[in-house]
Amino acid sequence: MQDWLSALYIILPIYCTNGAPVIFGGGRPIDGGTSLSDGQRIFGDHKTIRGFASGLLVGIVMGAFESVLFARELMLVAVLASFGALLGDLAGAFVKRRLKFKPGAPLPVLDQLDFVVGAILMVSLVSNLTLGTILILVLVTPPIHFLTNLGAYALGLKSTYW
């Protein structure tokens, strides 16, 4: 049961963090339009300053909610998890650009887990995550990610279902 609770405390802020840029993003790209020597953008147009900021803010709000309801120490976990999720997503975009994938093109597994891996790495700085918690995060995320993307597509928030 402890593994499920630990996973849930991380899932709530990172899923909200990951979804917020779809709703609140747009504007100036984080990479400022800069390309590397391979001719590809660092992250691309879909990774924006407003998206990053809104994702972090939404994750922090979720962390505040969790810390009031459950335990004060969850605030730090939520902040680190949210920041890690955003960094993981940027790392995924960076890899996709290096592999010459067009922005928005799917890359299964990476697209579903980059933000989770980033969150796990950041949270592990302050918490000893069990293998069970990590497995739960990794195994439940792909189907949930697919369903939320499908929902965002159906609502017109995304132009693709992935």
32: number of Cβ within 10 Å? 10
Q: Residue 24 has what pLDDT? A: 95
120: number of Cβ within 10 Å? 22
Q: Residue 158 has what pLDDT? A: 83
Q: Residue 157 has what pLDDT? A: 84
Tens-digit pLDDT string for the chain (162 aa): 699 999 999 999 999 999 999 899 999 999 999 999 999 999 999 999 999 999 999 999 999 999 999 998 899 999 999 999 999 999 999 999 999 998 788 899 999 999 999 999 999 999 999 999 999 999 999 999 899 889 988 999 888 887
Does this model's pTM top 0.85? My answer is yes
Q: Are 116 and 137 in contact (CB under 8 A)?
A: yes
Q: Residue 104 has what pLDDT? A: 80
Q: Residue 37 has what pLDDT? A: 95
Residue type at 50 in one-letter notation:
R
Residue with tokens 């390309």: 35
